[in-house]
Amino acid sequence: MKRIVSVLVAAILIVAMLTACGGAKNVDLKNLMSTVNSQFNISDLKTLESTDDLNRYYQINADDVKQFAAELSTAAKQYVEVVLVEAKDQTAADNVKKQLEAHLNSQISTAKSYDAAQVDMIQSCSVQQSGNFVYLVVSDAAGKINEAVAAALK
């Protein structure tokens, strides 16, 4: 009987320890965006200031967003954007991912119609997720930027 109680207590302690360590990462996405901008020499992008802007450009519901940082090019035929979102929970993260994927597909369709030279670059980009963090990078340097963001979110 003592062994069973000891094993149960040890199991409960292990589960409690793993749960405490597995908590959400605290990352300030606006600071991360500044780091990405300076590290990859990204400039002259429009900064989205509010969840209304986020909804206007990406159809992301404000109720799904805990915090975000987003910048995009407003120049014609220039496909550069970095969107970093921390969703409120897993369901919200799934919603954000779905909207960012729809946006990316729209950008691919637009490029096919108006700027075929950019299609391959845009198609090489994808929506990434790390827990409740969801992000999209559309850029020639998307692979390296994604690696930097992923490292910051670990």
Strand locations in 105-151 (E): 127-130, 133-138
Predicted confidence (pLDDT) per residue in 84-126, tens digit: 999 999 999 999 999 999 999 999 998 898 888 889 999 999 9
Q: What single DSSP character describes residue 116?
A: G
Where would I find the H helices in 40-124? 51-58, 90-114, 119-123
pLDDT tier at 39, thresholds 50, 70, 90:
very high
pLDDT tier at 21, thresholds 50, 70, 90:
very low
pLDDT tier at 12, thresholds 50, 70, 90:
very low
The C-alpha atoms of residue 81 and residue 141 are separated, in whole angstroms, by 11
Locate the domains of the chain by residue range: 25-153
- Torsion sign across C-alpha atoms 133, 134, 139, 141: positive
pTM (two decimals): 0.82
Q: Which residue has the higher pLDDT, 1 or 53?
A: 53
